């Protein structure tokens, strides 16, 4: 626990700098990275949607679908939109 306050402070500072530089929160940047990887895998991979969900650490295919719909308004049934 000796190093916890320094870690917390550095994390907070990093989040602040990222927001200032990119205009996006840390969560938005992480979601952007996940979304980019999902689009790449859906458009270039021969993996099933279920395998892609697992690859991206979603517990179920339906949760990946909810993520895509929530961030981009996309449905997994319309993956050709992602290409």
Number of Cβ within a 10 Å radius of residue 10: 11
CATH number at residue 69: 1.10.10
77 lies in a domain?
yes
Residue 46: domain span: 25-82
CA distance 54 to 62: 11
Count how many domains the chain has.
Answer: 1
Q: Is the pLDDT of residue 75 over 70?
A: no
59 lies in a domain?
yes
18 lies in a domain?
no
pLDDT value at residue 82: 47
Token pair listed for 42: 């859906």
Any idea what the Cα angle at residue 16 is, between residues 3 and 31, rounded to 5°? Answer: 100
pLDDT value at residue 4: 57
Q: What value does the mean pLDDT take over residues 50-63? A: 91
pLDDT value at residue 20: 94
Q: What value does the mean pLDDT take over residues 54-71? A: 87
């Amino acid at each position: 626990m000796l190093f916890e306050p320094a870690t917390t402070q550095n994390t907070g500072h990093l989040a602040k700098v990222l927001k200032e530089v990119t205009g996006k929160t840390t969560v938005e940047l992480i979601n952007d990275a996940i979304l980019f990887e999902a689009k790449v895998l859906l458009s270039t991979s021969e993996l099933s949607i279920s395998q892609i969900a697992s690859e991206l650490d979603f517990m179920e295919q339906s949760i990946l679908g909810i993520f895509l719909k929530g961030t981009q308004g996309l449905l997994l049934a319309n993956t050709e939109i992602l290409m």
